């Protein structure tokens, strides 16, 4: 493959944008590339870069493209709306339609406020929880990423882990003092903390996907629900990734556990910029203009994202077998990956739920938390990533992210992927044998 145009664009971008990218993991630094690829377009399960290289895509815009790139139902609706204008700074019918659909489908949400990003949604939900409880401290879990607002960047995952650190500079001592962290899955420590500290909320990815995918035990989430109810602590499910991706009603429907507040993003815009936070009516009615918890945004609920999200979620609702088909395709792929790992003597631990998975290059039976995740062999992952990319498959450029499938990934794409994966595993096996 030729990457000249992408390399030239990256060199130009380095003089204009910090690191040449607008989100750190896109720089491909942790996988030792000279430059990232610059995408020109996407269609179905594939993307095309500025050098006209074609790739089967397992990033899917980090999850929202469950229908694949440019799904005709979504694009048709977007074209209708965009011809009317971009945004107005005033209400439209389309944001009401999307809100009605979200309230109908997500078990915990009685009222919802649309935002422009998942980061904005989680930041607002935490502020709301503090106002409702009158408490300052919050509890989050190490390796769970909830966007880049100050309070939620402590012991975080995603791009921070990729860059080799867990906290961001620029966070005040006061914020650090009010943000408590524990290892994911340790219910005993959660109970001890909540019974001895005045905590406003516990925020959790019900399925962590930012330290690599972690397979959540239902009992842990049940325990969180019980303890937060007993201590009158708000339980927030950050379903920016798992919402509408794991099941139509998100992880809370999948596990049968209802939080007090839920944050959403990505998929509710069908790939367009959007987010949301919602929950019990009595809590949500503290948000301005009803209450005094302020939230505003010129582009909140903008008509293009609202219509794209409505089209995406409606399609999922009308085609419930999608989730079964996605899980079956994921299992087909991963069953064969395990065979390749055994064939070439490569240590891997594969975590998956629904249509999400992470291949950890580590000699562990199961990766269950951040400590386990950090034991992964990032050199082996780099070989895997580069072999895949150089042969027409794009996977997340970080060991600490999840792969995503869409309904556009057919057996043809999966078999091609397995062919290239065999090349990668063969290389890693030879390196390990030296």
**Looking at the annotation, which residues are catalytic?**
145, 238, 266
Give the CA count within 13 Å in the CB-facing half-sphere of 428: 29
Q: How far is CA 168 from CA 150, 154, 175, 288, in A?
A: 8, 7, 12, 30
Report how far Cα 83 is from the mean position of its chain's Cα atoms. 30
DSSP symbols for 32-53 = T-SS---EEEEEBTEEEETT--
Q: Would you tell me how many other CB atoms lie within 10 Å of the CB of residue 233?
A: 25
Nearest Cα neighbor of 299 from 102, 82, 89, 147 is 89
Interatomic CA distance for residues 299 and 86, integer angstroms: 10
Interatomic CA distance for residues 110 and 71, integer angstroms: 30
Q: For tokens 């080799």, what's the residue?
A: 164
Which CB contacts under 8 angstroms, 24+ apart, belong to 23-29?
Answer: 23/159, 24/159, 24/162, 24/163, 25/158, 25/159, 25/162, 25/396, 25/397, 25/398, 25/401, 26/397, 28/397, 29/162, 29/163
Q: Which residues are registered as beta bridge partners of 356?
A: 353, 404
Q: Which two tokens stand for residue 262?
A: 């839920």
Contact 30/378 with Cβ under 8 angstroms? yes
């Amino acid at each position: 493959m030729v990457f000249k145009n992408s390399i030239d664009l990256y060199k130009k971008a380095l003089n204009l944008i910090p690191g040449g990218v607008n989100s750190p993991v896109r720089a491909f630094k942790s996988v030792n590339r000279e430059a990232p690829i610059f995408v020109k377009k996407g269609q179905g399960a594939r993307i095309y870069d500025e050098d006209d290289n074609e790739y089967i895509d397992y990033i899917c815009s980090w999850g929202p493209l469950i229908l694949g790139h440019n799904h005709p139902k979504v694009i048709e609706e977007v074209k209708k709306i965009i011809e009317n204008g971009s945004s107005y700074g005033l209400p439209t019918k389309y944001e009401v339609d999307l809100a009605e659909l979200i309230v109908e489908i997500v078990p915990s949400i009685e009222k919802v406020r649309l935002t422009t990003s998942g980061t904005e949604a989680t930041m607002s939900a935490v502020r709301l929880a503090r106002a409702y409880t009158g408490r300052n401290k919050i509890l989050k879990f190490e390796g769970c990423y909830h966007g880049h607002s100050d309070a939620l960047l402590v012991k975080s995952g995603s791009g921070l882990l990729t860059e080799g650190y867990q906290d961001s500079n620029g966070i005040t001592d006061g914020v650090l003092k009010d943000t408590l962290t524990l290892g994911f899955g340790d219910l005993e420590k959660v109970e001890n903390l909540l019974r001895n500290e005045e905590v406003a909320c516990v925020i959790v990815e019900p399925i962590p996907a930012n330290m690599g995918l972690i397979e959540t035990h239902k009992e842990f989430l049940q325990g969180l629900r019980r303890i937060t109810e007993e201590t009158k602590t708000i339980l927030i499910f950050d379903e920016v990734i798992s919402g509408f991706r794991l099941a139509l009603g998100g992880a809370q429907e999948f596990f049968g556990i209802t939080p007090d507040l839920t944050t959403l993003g990505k998929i509710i815009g069908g790939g367009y910029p959007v987010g949301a936070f919602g929950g019990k009516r009595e809590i949500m009615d503290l948000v301005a203009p009803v209450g005094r918890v302020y939230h505003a945004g010129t582009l909140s609920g903008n008509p293009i994202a609202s219509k794209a999200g409505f089209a995406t979620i409606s399609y999922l609702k009308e085609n419930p077998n999608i989730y079964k088909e996605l899980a079956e395709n994921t299992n087909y792929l991963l069953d064969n990956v395990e065979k390749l790992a055994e064939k070439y003597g490569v240590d891997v631990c594969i975590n998956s739920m629904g249509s999400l998975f992470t291949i950890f290059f580590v000699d562990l039976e199961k990766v269950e938390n951040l400590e386990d995740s950090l034991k992964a062999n990032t050199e082996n992952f780099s070989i895997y990533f580069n072999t895949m990319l150089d042969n027409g498959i794009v996977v997340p450029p970080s060991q600490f992210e999840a792969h995503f499938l869409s309904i556009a990934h057919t057996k043809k794409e999966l078999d091609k992927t397995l062919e290239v994966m065999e090349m990668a595993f063969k290389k890693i096996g030879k390196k390990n044998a030296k």
